[in-house]
Structure 1
Amino acid sequence: EYRLTNPPKPPATVEVMDGENRKHTLQVQVLGAEETWHTPSLLLASVGSSGGKVVFSQIRTLDPTEDVKQYGSTLNRNKICDIAFYQKVHLEVDPGQYESEETKFQALQKSDKARLEILQDLLSSHLGLSVAEKQGPLPAYTPGYFLGRHELKLDFLSALQPRLKADNILKLNLLSLQFCGKGVEPSKPTASLMPVFLHACPQRFSTVEYFENLHSEHIGRLLIFSEVMTSSMEGLDGAVLHHGLAVVACQQISGAGRSGNAWLSPEGCGMFSLQLHIRSDSYLGHHVPFLQHVVSLAVVLAICSQAGHEDVDLHLKWPNDIYVGDCIKVGGLVVKTIVDNTMTVCNIGVGMNLDNNVPTTCINALLRELKLAPLSLEKFLALVFTKLEKLLVTLEKGSSGVDQVRQLYYKYWLHSNCEVTVIGPQGSKQEVTILGIDDFGFLQVLAKDGCAFSVHPDGNSFDMLRGLIAPKVK
C-alpha cells in the first residue's frame, strides 16, 4: 500500500493566464488541511495587483492509488509519494439536501455547526464580508392576498374554474395556489402551497395607497401579495392566467435572476412578477426580446420622472440591469416566455433595491440624500405598472412610437459611443463602437472595418469595467 510520507506544500505564488493571455501572479495560502493525509483542503488565492481574492474548497490533484493502477511500475515510487490527493470540501452543501439518505443526513447534521462556522470565518476574516454572528431561522411562509376590483376577481376565478382542483387549488409548475373564500379554512403555507385569501386585506400592504397611485387599465389591476414566498415568479410559472396580473413578495426564500443565478431578497427590496399577454400580430409580438428593455426603462422612469427626481442618478446597463452611477447595481429583471399562434405569454420578474441599504445601496437612500421623500413599496409598484402600460401603448403607434421609446431608453443607458471588445465563441476578438440597440433590443455595434452587427444578450455577458462582451461561462 502506498502512503504519502511527505505531503507536498503548495507554492507560495503561482502565475496564471486569463482569457486574454494576460499574466497574473497569485499569492497562495493554506487555510485548512485534511486530517489523515495532512494535504491542503482549503486554499486562499490573492491577486496583489487588484486585491481580488478567491477561496478554493474543492481541490484535487492525482490520487496516488489510482495512479498506481493506471501506470503500474512505469511510474517511479518516490514520485508517487510526492503526489497529493486533495479531498473535496463542500461547504456549500446543506444537510437538508440529503434528507432521503438517512446515514449521510445524520453525519452531515452532526458536522453542520462546524461547516457554518468555517464558512462564516472564510467570508468575514479572509474575504472581508460582513457576516451576521448568528444565523436566524428562515422566515415562515405566509398566505397570499388577492387584491383588485371585486368584479375583476370574479371574472378571473370564473375563467380559472375548469382548471381548479379540489379545495379551489390551482396547480402551477412549482407552487399551488389555494383560493380561499369566506369561511374556508386555509391550508398551512409551505414552499409548494400558498393559500390566497379572496376577501381579506394584508396588514403590510396598503391597498388604498396602491390603487390611488395606479393609473393603468390592465397592468397591476389584479395583484397577489404575500410577505414571504419562495419566489414571486413561481406564482405565475406554468399557466396562462391574466394579462397584467402581478405577484408581489416582501421576501423571497429562493429568488432567481438570469441564467439561474440566485437573487438576494432582503427586507426592503421591491420585488414583483408580472404576466403580460402580447398579441402575435403586434409590434412587440414580432420583437419580443425588446420587452426586457421596455420593462427596465419603466422602472427607471417610474422613479426619475417624478417631480423633483430629475437628479436621481439611475442608469440602464444592457441588457437588463439598473445601476446607480456606472458601477453600483441596484436592480435587474428576467423574462420567460411561452409562444403560441396568437399570443406570447411573458412572465417578468423584477428585483429593485428600494429600501434596503445593503448589500449595495437603494433608491430611498438616494432620495434621502436629495432631501426627497422615500418611496413606499405600494407607490413604487403603482408607478412602474402605470409607466409600463404607457410605454407598451406607445410602442404600438408604429415607427414614431418605437423611436420615442428608444430615445427615452438612450437617455438613461450607459453605453453611447463606448468602445468595447467583442469576444467570439472561439476566442476571436474584435474592437467595436456601440451604436445602440436594434429593433429586437440586441446591442448594435460598429467594427473598425465599417461593418455593423448585433450582439445577442442571451449568449453574452457585458463586463463594463473591462469594456468586454464575452460568451457566458456555462
Structure 2
Amino acid sequence: MSNLNVLVYNGPGTTPNCVNQCLDSFRLLLSPYYAVSPVTERALREQPWEPKTAALIIPGGADLPMCKAFRGTINDRIKNFVSKGGLYIGICSGAYYSSSRCEFEVGNPEMEVSGARDLKFFPDVCRGGVISGFSYSNETGAKVIEVSVNSDLLHGLPKYVHLYLNGGGMFVNAHKYPNVEILASYEDNLDVNEEDEINGKKAATVLCTVGRGKALLFGPHPEFNPALMKEDPEVPAFTQVMKSLKVTNKTRIEFLRECVKKLGLKVNEKEYSRPKLTPLFLTSMDKKSATELISNLESNLSYQIQNIIDLGKDKIAVNKTVQYIHKNPTDDIQEDPELAIKNLYLCDAELPDKSITPYFDLKYFEECLLTYYKESGQELTPESQGFTFIYGEVVTSTSVLMDINYRWLPLLPAGFTITGTVQVLGKGRSGNHWVNPRGVLPVSSLFKLPVRLAQIAPVVFVQYLCSMAYSQAVLEYDIGYDEIPIKIKWPNDIYIKLPKYVGKPIDKNSKDVTHVKIGGILVNTNVFDGNYYLIVGVGLNVSSDAPTTSVNTVIDAMNDNYKHTGSDKRLKHINNEKLLAKYLTIFNQMFEKFKYTGFKPFLNDYYKLWFHSNQIVTLNDEGGIKAEIFGITPDWGMLMVKDIKTGNVFQLQPDGNSFDMFNGLISQKR
C-alpha cells in the first residue's frame, strides 16, 4: 500500500507564513494523491508516523530551535525514515538543517549561526544568506532571485526561473558528490564565499540520495505563491518583489512540480490552482422547509450588509432565486476559500437546471430519496436524513460548513445534509486536509441525540454506524452489487479489494496489500439545549482512482472477470445521486433504532463487514506480545484482543490507537 501522508513540520523553528505557504502549495500540487497535513514536534517524537508517510517537509524559519527540538529521538527517526526509502523536502532553514554543516551570516555577531548538523542529507556546507540584508522581523532582505535550471535533469522547463528568496543558502561543493544532483543554480552575484564559482556550480537546489530514500533541498522558496503574500508596511520595496513574482509565477509552479516529480512523489499534472468556490443550492423535499430555514436564519442572525448573514465562521449571501451568474469580475482573482463569502441559492420554488449543476442531478436525487424511504417503510419527515439539503459543485468542506458555524448550527434541523462534487478543504480524522477531486462523493449530515440517551447509545458508535451504512449502500445498490469486495477496517475506514485481485484467491498469510482505503468517516460533536449535535462526514471514492482505487474501477474488474469466466452478468457504474439517497435512507433507519437500543443489535452485521475476526496482531505498547482480535465491546466500541500465550484480554480505544492492519501492529496514540 502506498503511503498517503505528506507531513509539513509546524513547530519550533518554523514561521507561520512558511508553514501556510507549504501547506497551500503542496496540497494543490499533490492532490488527490496525498493528504498534506501539519505535524508537531511532539507527534514526530511520539506518534508512529513513518509507516503511513511518503514525505516529510521542513519549511523555512530558523534552524537553531529545530536543533534543540529534534536532538536525539526525532533526528534518529527522520534519518531512519529516509534511509529506508522515505522522502524529505527541506526549504531554506529546512535545507540548512539537513546539511552536514550550517553557515549563516558568518562574521555577523548579531546574526551568525554556524555548526555541524545531525541529518547530513547534503554532505557538505549550506552557506548563506546568499543575498545580504536578511531580517527575522520583516521583509527587508526579500528578493526575487534568478536560478538556471539543469535541463538534463528537469525537462520541459525554461532555462531561467525566478523565485522568492529571503535568507536562503547555497550548497557548497555540490558537484563533487556522486549522491548529489544539482537541479538549479544561482545566476546572480552572491554575498557569500562562492567556492563553486570557478565551476559555475552555485547550487540553489539539490537532490540527494540517502540510502533507499531521497532529500530535495531548496535554498530559495519555490513554494511561495505571490497571491498569498501580503505587503509589508515597513518595507515599501517588497511590493515590487510581489509584483515581479506574479509576472513569473507560472514558471515557479512548473519548476516546483518538476522538482517534486524528480524526488519521486506523484503530482497533479493539471492546472496548478485551487478550484473556485461555486454557489450552494438549498432545497427541501416538501418545498417549504428550506424557505422556513432561511426565514429562521434571517430572524435570529444579524445581516451585515444587504443579504449577507454571518454564520459564525463563514458568511453567506442569500439569494432567493435560482438565477445564476456564470461569470463575475472576481472569477480570475485567487480567493481564500475560508474567507470567501459563500453564495447560497434558495431552490424551494424551482430546482436549478441540470446545466447549472452538471455533476449532480438534484431532481433525480429527490426521486431516489423518496423511493428508498417508501421501500424501507420509513416515514419521510422534516427531520429525516436528506430532507433539507445543500449541494455545491465546489465547496470548502461539507463537514466544516456545519461544524465551525456555531451561529447557525443550533438553528439547523436534524437530518440537514450537505454534499458537493469537489472539496477544496477536505478534512480527515487526524486533521489531514486535501483537495477532493470529482469522483469522490462527500456528504455530511446532522444527527441530534438527546444527552439523556447517550448512556444507552454512546456517541462513539455513530462512526461505526456510518461506515456500515455507506458499505451497505454499495452492497444493496442493486441486484449483484452484494459481490463487491468492500470491507471495514476498525473502527470506521472503508476498504475495497484492489482490481488486480478481483476474482483471484488470496493467501491468508500473504504480506501483499490486497485491499486499499476508499472511504473515511469524521464525526464532530457539539452540545446545544440538551442534545448532541453530531456532524457525520464521510467520503467515498466512487469513480476517482486517486489516491488508491474506486468502486467503479473495481466494478470494471468484476465485469472483466465475469466475461473471462463466461458469465453474462454485468454491473453498471454506480450513480452518485442514487448511492447517496440509498446511504441516507439506510443510515436514518439505523440511527433511529440505535438511539433506543444502542449498538448491540448491530454487532453481527458489523462483524460481517470488518476485516479482523481472528486476526493476529502485535501490541507494541505491551512489549510486542502477540494477540488475537475477537471483537469489540458492546458498550464503548473498544477493540478486544487476547494474548495468545496467557489469555489476558486487552481493550483498546478506537480514537486512542494507531492500527496498522497490514503490518499487524497496534500502537497507543499519545
User: TM-score scaled by structure 2?
Assistant: 0.56
Matches within 5 A, 1:200-279: 200-202=350-352, 203=354, 204=357, 205-214=360-369, 215=373, 217=380, 218-237=384-403, 238=405, 239-240=409-410, 241-279=412-450
Distance in 2 of aligned mates of 1:351 and 1:183: 27
Q: Match for residue 632 of structure 2?
A: 437
Which of 140, 154, 160 is equivalent to 2:276? 140
Distance in 2 of aligned mates of 1:312 and 1:378: 19
Is contact 1:46–1:54 with CA below 8 Å preserved after alignment? no
Matches within 5 A, 1:112-127: 112-113=249-250, 115-127=252-264
What is the Cα deviation at residue 376 of structure 1? Answer: 1.6
Q: Match for residue 346 of structure 1?
A: 534
Q: Match for residue 554 of structure 2?
A: 366
Matches within 5 A, 1:52-131: 52-57=85-90, 58-61=94-97, 62-64=101-103, 84-85=125-126, 87=169, 89=218, 91-101=222-232, 102=238, 105-106=242-243, 109=246, 112-113=249-250, 115-127=252-264, 129=266, 131=268
Distance in 2 of aligned mates of 1:185 and 1:412: 43
Over residues 200-247 of structure 1, what are the superposed CA-to-partner deviations in whole Å (9 max), with x where a residue is unaligned? 423223233212221163111111111112212232122222211111
Deviates more, 1:170-179 or 1:304-313: 170-179
Distance in 2 of aligned mates of 1:247 and 1:284: 29
Is 1:419 aligned with 2:616?
yes
Which of 313, 316, 325 is equivalent to 1:177? 316
Distance 1:183 1:434, change over 3 A: closer
Distance 1:110 1:60, change over 3 A: farther
Distance in 2 of aligned mates of 1:254 and 1:106: 28
Is contact 2:460–2:637 with CA below 8 Å preserved after alignment? yes
Distance in 2 of aligned mates of 1:67 and 1:83: 16
Distance in 1 of aligned mates of 2:95 and 2:83: 24
Over residues 18-39 of structure 1, what are the superposed CA-to-partner deviations in whole Å (9 max), with x where a residue is unaligned? 9999xxxxxxxxxxxxxxxxxx
SS of residue paired to 1:258: coil
Is contact 2:398–2:423 with CA below 8 Å preserved after alignment? yes
Is contact 1:45–1:54 with CA below 8 Å preserved after alignment? no
What is the Cα deviation at residue 168 of structure 1? Answer: 4.6
Is contact 1:284–1:290 with CA below 8 Å preserved after alignment? no
What is the Cα deviation at residue 443 of structure 1? Answer: 1.9
Deviates more, 1:90-99 or 1:348-357: 90-99
RMSD over equivalenced CA pairs, Å: 3.7
SS of residue paired to 2:441: strand
Q: Match for residue 179 of structure 2?
A: none
Q: Match for residue 480 of structure 2?
A: 308
Is 1:298 aligned with 2:469?
yes
What is the Cα deviation at residue 367 of structure 1? Answer: 2.7
Is contact 1:229–1:251 with CA below 8 Å preserved after alignment? yes
Count of aligned pairs: 420
Structure 1: 5+ residue stretches without partners: 1-17, 22-43, 77-81
Is 1:280 aligned with 2:411?
no
What is the Cα deviation at residue 282 of structure 1? Answer: 2.2
Distance in 1 of aligned mates of 2:439 and 2:322: 33
What is the Cα deviation at residue 271 of structure 1? Answer: 1.1
Distance 1:442 1:137, change over 3 A: same
Is 1:460 aligned with 2:657?
yes
Residue type of the partner of 2:229? Y
Is contact 2:658–2:669 with CA below 8 Å preserved after alignment? yes
Residue type of the partner of 2:315? S
SS of residue paired to 1:59: helix
Which of 375, 392, 400 is equivalent to 2:591? 392
Is contact 1:330–1:352 with CA below 8 Å preserved after alignment? yes
Is contact 1:317–1:323 with CA below 8 Å preserved after alignment? yes
Over residues 121-151 of structure 1, what are the superposed CA-to-partner deviations in whole Å (9 max), with x where a residue is unaligned? 234334162641x525433221111121223
SS of residue paired to 1:469: strand
Distance in 2 of aligned mates of 1:434 and 1:395: 25
What is the Cα deviation at residue 46 of structure 1? Answer: 11
Is contact 1:177–1:195 with CA below 8 Å preserved after alignment? yes
Is contact 2:657–2:669 with CA below 8 Å preserved after alignment? yes
Distance in 1 of aligned mates of 2:465 and 2:322: 42
Q: Match for residue 193 of structure 1?
A: 341
Residue type of the partner of 2:667? A
Over residues 90-134 of structure 1, what are the superposed CA-to-partner deviations in whole Å (9 max), with x where a residue is unaligned? 5544334422444564575577545433432234334162641x5
